[in-house]
Structure 1
Amino acid sequence: MKRVIMIGPSPSAKGGIATVIGTLLRVGYERDGHCRFIQTHISAGLVRKAWVALWALLRVTCLMATGQVALLHAHVASEASFWRKAIFIRVAQFFGCPVIFHLHSGEFRVFLEQRMSPGQRKFAVALMRRVDYALVLSDDAAQLLSGIGVRNIELLPNPIEINRVSPARQTSSEILFLGRLDNKKGVYDLLRAFKYVRDQVPEARLILGGEGEVAQVRELATALGILNAVELPGWVNEAQRSVLLARAAVFVLPSHFEQMPMTVLEAMVAGVPVVATRVGGVPCMLENGACGKLVDVADLDALASAITGLLVDRPAAQAMAERAHQRVLKEYEAGVVLSRLQERYAALAQ
C-alpha cells in the first residue's frame, strides 16, 4: 500500500512546526495507516542530529525506490530546515513523487531574498516551482511563493486541540510572553513597553518563558529598573505553558516576523486576551482586532497602551478573549484542519 509520508522535526523538539506535527499525530494522523510521519530533526547534539537526518533520508529514499510513497508532505522553515528538506524534495522529484511544500517560516522572504547567494536562490526557486502544491499560513507567504512561480497555493491554518483539560483561570496582573528571547521576537520592545505599563499598573509582572539571550534580557531589565517584576522561567514544556496561561491576564507576542504562531492559538484557546504585532497571519488570526489587540512592530507606546488597557478593563478583555475562543473553535480546531489536509492528500496522492 502506498502511503503519504510527512517529514519534519520530532514532536518533542522545540518550535512551532514540532507543535503542529505533535497535534496532528495526537488527533489521528496515522490512525488509518495511509499516512506516516518520519522525523528529520531532533533537539540534540550535532552528531545525533546528523544521524537522525541521514537515517530519515535513507528510509524515505528506500520507500520511494520501492514504490511505497504516494505523496511527500514536507514541513519547511528557513535556514537549515529549508536545505535539509530540499534534499528530500529533490529525491521525491527524482522518483516522480508528488510533493506538498508546507511553509512555516515568518522570515522566509528575508531568507530567500537576502541570506542566499545568487546560486542558492536560483536552486531554491527552481526547486519550489516544481512542487505540486504549497501550503502557507499567511497571505504574505502566498504572495511570495506566487511571485516566484509556485503553483497551487492554499492557506491552511495551524491546528490546535480544543478539548484538552486546562487549569482553571486565575485572576492576576501577569503579562505572559512565550518564545525565543531575542530581538526578532520583540522581547526588548516588550521590556521597554513594560516599564510604562508598570507606571499605570504597579502590581503588573512580566513572565518571559523561553530560551535565548537571557543575560541580555536581564541586563536591559536591570537598566530599566524592572528586574524585580520580571520572571524568567526558561524553556517551558506543554504542561508548564498551561499553568502559565491559566495565570496570565494578558498574552503578548510583539514579534518582528511570524507566520501563524502556535503560542497565540494556545492563548486564544486558554481564554487569555492577546496583544500582538501586525505580522504574517496574526491579523487574520485575531480578526483584525476583534479577537485581540494589534500593534505595529516596535511601536512601544501602542504596545504599552494595549497591554495596560486589557489589564485595566477586565470586562472588555474577557469579551475579546471569548470572541477569540469561538474563532479558534470554528477555524483552527485540529480535527477540522486534519480533515482539510486529508482532502488535499486524496486529490494529490497517486
Structure 2
Amino acid sequence: MSKHQNDNPRVPHEAAPLRVLHVGPGQGQRGGIASVLAELSAQRARFRDAGVVVAIFETHGFQSMRSLLCFPLVDIPRFLFAVLKGVDLIHFHVSVRGSFYRKFLLYLLARLFGKRTIFHLHAGNFQDFWASNGPTTRKAVSRFIRGADAVVAVSSAIASELQGHQGVTRNLYVIGNTAYSAELAAGAALRDSSGGKRVDMTPYVAFAGRFTEGKGLDELLRAVAALNRRGLKVQLRLAGAGDMDRWTRAAIEYGVSDQVRFVGWLQGDAKLEFYRDAAVFCMPSHFEAFGISTLEAMFIGRPVIGTRVGGFLDLVEEGVTGYLVRCGDSHGLAERIRHLVERPELAHEMGRQAVSRALSRYSVDAIVSQYARCYRQVNGSRGA
C-alpha cells in the first residue's frame, strides 16, 4: 500500500538527527534526477528542522570512457569513505540503463556494511528497461527493489507499476518533486489578474524538456500544422537540449518552421520568464515519471496540456488545471491547444487553479515532510 504523508516535519530538538546520503547523478550531468538532487541540497535547512541531515553523493555518468573509468576509480572509493564516515540511510535515486547499474553496484556495497537503503524510482520507462534486458539484469532489478528497506515512487502511476510488475506490497511511498524557485513565484501568479503576460507580445505554446521522440515533439509539430489548416496560426517555443537539427527538419517538413523557435536550455529567472510569457504549457510525453517542467509551469500559473501517462495523472486535474490527451493523439492535442488559445480567460483561470494545486501538493514544506516521515519509519523499523 502506498503512503502519502503530509504531517508536520519538525521533531524534538533533543532527538538525534538522521543522517541520509542521497545518491544520484552529478559531475556536470543534467536531467530530472540531477534537478531533484539540486532541490534536495538547497533545502538542507528545512530537512535539519525535520530532524534529517542531508548529504549528496554525485556519481559520474557513462557517457565517455573517461567518466566510465571515474566510476570504479573515483566514485566507489568516495562512496566507501562516505559510508564509513557514518550515515543512517542511503537513498538511491534510480532511472534506467547506466543509472540503474551504477546505483545497484553501490547498493551492494551499502548492504555489505549493513546500511539501510531506499530505492527511489524516477523513470517512466523502467518496465521497458526490465523487459528489454536479459535474466541477469532482471535478477538485479528484483534484488535491488525487494532488498531495499523502502521503495519510493515519484508518482502514483509509478507506484502502481512497482506494485503490479515488481510485486512491491510493503514500505512503498509516493513522494513527488519540488520546484522551489517556481514556488517562490506562485504568490505573484495568484495575484496577477492579467495572467502574467505582457500585452505587447504574442502568446505562444511552451514546451520544456529533452528534444526526443519520447517527449512527443512529433505530435506537437503535427498539432501546430493541423491548426494552421484550420486557420489558427500559433507560435511554439521549445526550451531544452537534444537533436535540434532533426526537429528543425521536421518543422520544415510540416510547414511550420516560421512558427517554431528553439530557445535553448533555460535556467533560473530565464526559465520562469519563459513559462510566464506563454499562453499554455504543452508536454505530450510518451512516458513521464513525474514532470518537473510541468510543475514549474503550474507554479507560474500556466494551464497544462499533457498525456494520460505517469506523473501527469497526479499533476493535472482534467478540465480544472488543464487537459490530458491520449498518447500520440496529435488531433486531440491540436483541439485542446485551440480551445485554450481561443479562450484566454479560461486559460487564465485554469492557471490560477494550477498554482493552488501545486502549492497544496508539491510545496517544499509538504515534500520535506513526506521524506522525513519515510526516513523515521524506515529507521524505526530497525530490529523489528
Q: Same fold (TM over 0.5)?
A: yes
Which whole-Å CA distance do the structure 2 matches of 1:228 and 1:183 have between them?
21
Match of 1:141 in 2: 158
Match of 1:329 in 2: 359
Match of 1:75 in 2: 93
Secondary structure at 1:169 match in 2: coil
Which whole-Å CA distance do the structure 1 matches of 2:97 and 2:66 have between them?
18
Match of 2:53 in 1: 34
- In the alignment, structure 1 residue 153 sits paired with structure 2 residue 172: yes
Q: 1:106 aligns with which of 124, 148, 152?
A: 124
Match of 1:341 in 2: 371
- TM-score, normalization by structure 1: 0.91
Match of 2:19 in 1: 3
- In the alignment, structure 1 residue 169 sits paired with structure 2 residue 186: no
Alignment CA distance shift 1:71-1:343 (3 Å): same
Structure 1 gap ranges (5+): none
Give per-residue Cα distances to partners, 1:170-214, cap 9 Å, x unaligned: 353311111111211100110001112234564521111122222
Instruction: State whether residues 11 and 18 of structure 1, in contact with CA within 8 Å, keep that contact through their aligned partners in structure 2.
Output: no
Match of 2:81 in 1: 62
Secondary structure at 2:22 match in 1: strand
Instruction: State whether residues 26 and 58 of structure 2, in contact with CA within 8 Å, keep that contact through their aligned partners in structure 1.
Output: yes
Match of 1:231 in 2: 261
Structure 2 gap ranges (5+): 1-15, 190-195
Match of 2:10 in 1: none
Structure 1 residue 347: Cα displacement: 2.2
- In the alignment, structure 1 residue 93 sits paired with structure 2 residue 111: yes
Instruction: State whether residues 169 and 246 of structure 1, in contact with CA within 8 Å, keep that contact through their aligned partners in structure 2.
Output: yes
Structure 1 residue 74: Cα displacement: 0.8
Give per-residue Cα distances to partners, 1:210-264, cap 9 Å, x unaligned: 2222222111211111101110123222333112112111110000011111000
Alignment CA distance shift 1:187-1:48 (3 Å): same
Bigger mean CA offset, 22-31 vs 131-140:
22-31
Alignment CA distance shift 1:296-1:31 (3 Å): closer
- In the alignment, structure 1 residue 207 sits paired with structure 2 residue 237: yes
Instruction: State whether residues 9 and 18 of structure 1, in contact with CA within 8 Å, keep that contact through their aligned partners in structure 2.
Output: yes
Which whole-Å CA distance do the structure 2 matches of 1:54 and 1:276 have between them?
42
Q: Considering only aligned residues, what root-mean-square deviation do their CA atoms show, in Å?
A: 2.4
Match of 1:222 in 2: 252
Structure 1 residue 41: Cα displacement: 3.4
Which whole-Å CA distance do the structure 1 matches of 2:185 and 2:273 have between them?
13
Which whole-Å CA distance do the structure 1 matches of 2:141 and 2:62 have between them?
25
Match of 2:5 in 1: none
- In the alignment, structure 1 residue 295 sits paired with structure 2 residue 325: yes
In the alignment, residue 161 of structure 2 is paired with which amino acid? L
Give per-residue Cα distances to partners, 1:304-327, cap 9 Å, x unaligned: 000111100011111111111001
Structure 1 residue 169: Cα displacement: 3.5
Instruction: State whether residues 185 and 299 of structure 2, in contact with CA within 8 Å, keep that contact through their aligned partners in structure 1.
Output: no
In the alignment, residue 140 of structure 1 is paired with which amino acid? A
Structure 1 residue 290: Cα displacement: 2.2
Alignment CA distance shift 1:258-1:266 (3 Å): same
Higher relative contact order (CA 8 A, sep 6+): 2
1:168-207 equivalences in 2 (<5 Å): 169-171=197-199, 172-200=202-230, 202-207=232-237
Secondary structure at 2:44 match in 1: coil
Which whole-Å CA distance do the structure 2 matches of 1:287 and 1:50 have between them?
45
- TM-score, normalization by structure 2: 0.84
Structure 1 residue 154: Cα displacement: 1.0
